[in-house]
Amino acid sequence: MIRTSRRLADGREILYFDDGPSPSAHEAADTRDLPPVSTHSQLRWDALLGEWVVIASHRQSRTFLPPAHQCPLCPSRPGRPTEIPDADYQVVAFENRFPSLATGVERDVPPSAPGAPLAELRPGFGRCEVVVFTSDHDRDFAELGAARARLVVDVWAERTAELSGIDGVEQVFVFENHGEEIGVTLSHPHGQIYAYPFVPARVEKVLGSVRRHREATGGDLFGEVVAAERSGPRVVAQNEHWTAFVPAAARWPYEVQLFPTRRVPDLPALTDDERDAFVAVYLDVLGRFAHRFDTPMPYIASWNQAPTRARDEWWLHLQLFSLRRAPGKLKYLAGSESGMGAFITDTNPEDVAEQLRAVVLP
């Protein structure tokens, strides 16, 4: 993989990644007249829930569902400059123009929110990047092919390693939102990476379960789950290095988790063979999501990586889930889910696994 670093007109970093020598040196300049990025994010502590909340009100003005001919992630054309100055590219990563977290954020914040001494305030420090999978506006991840998907995996790993090294970053979260129903505001195939200055609530909760299980039984909760699921009734696809299964207590109508056979903390720790094997299983499962109903399912792909200070306790895995529960019907997070965090699922995990296995791939 060849990496080329450049700067956009407002000073943000853009990185081009190629799987071999590129016909372009990626020297095209960003000709736009852009104001400097201004980020006013804050972290506020929810004392009752024991969780950090990011306040990023400046993001209200971000780009929202532009028509294809105005897509900011397509290659630049004469008279039509975009976020990516080159006329063509393979995979690109760049600092988000409307970041929730930024390294250059205002550091001088009050100790607490107005009138709330228990709501501790911190600067919205971190980094948010966009990863663009292809220059083709109309190609989904499921259609990238093995070689391009593998390049994306290598980019995810490279960015994870670099962002994890930033002083103050506690967790690197790689994800893709796919489909307008999910809340996607740009339809060009892309994902994002957040470098958090804290460990998110989900990861804290999983770590707590792992530690309690170890203290109570001496066992490895991650290892026991993976071993059981590899031979269980909810497997959707697997190979020597990866298993994709519907979790026994799935929260989402269609949910698949992908675990490597070997315990690794994060993407950079995967070998070349494990990365190739992941691509094979992942593209298979994405194809099943795309063809389960008459139209492709919207989904979120969420990498669960180790916090930077708890690598020895973690087992890398990917969550892939969709809000679609039936043709033309979505699962809304209504009263119980949104109000109490108590999920009520509309599908049976064993049935979902059987339905996904039965999908005939083109």
pLDDT tens figures, 201-240 = 999 999 999 999 999 999 999 999 999 999 999 999 999 9
In this structure, CATH architecture of domain 2-29+42-198: 2-Layer Sandwich (3.30)
Active site residue 69: no
Judged against a pLDDT cut of 80, whether residue 324 lies above it is answered with yes
320, 256 contact by CB (below 8 A): yes
pLDDT at 13 over 70: yes
d(CA 296, CA 288): 9
- At residue 215, the pLDDT reads 98
Say if residue 128 carries a ligand binding annotation.
no
**pLDDT value at position 60?**
66
Residues 304 and 203: beta-carbon distance below 8 Å: yes
Residue 62 pLDDT exceeds 80 = no
| pLDDT tens column, 137-158 | 999 999 999 999 999 999 999 9
Mean pLDDT of 311-336: 95
Residue type, 308: T
**pTM of the predicted structure, to 2 decimals:** 0.96
- Other C-beta atoms closer than 10 Å to the C-beta of 273 total 10
Q: What angle do CA 118, 121, 126 make, to 5 degrees?
A: 145
Mean pLDDT, residues 267-278: 98
Looking at the chain, the domain(s) classified CATH 3.30.428.10 span 2-29+42-198, 202-358
Q: What is the CATH number of domain 202-358?
A: 3.30.428.10
> What does the pLDDT average to over 3-17?
97
* Token duo for residue 148: 């391009």
137 is in an annotated binding site: yes
CA separation for the pair 190, 187 (Å, rounded): 8
**The one catalytic residue among 190, 213, 241, 291:** 190
Was 213 annotated as part of a binding site? Answer: no
> For the chain, how many residues are written?
362
| Cβ pair 244, 255 in contact under 8 A | no
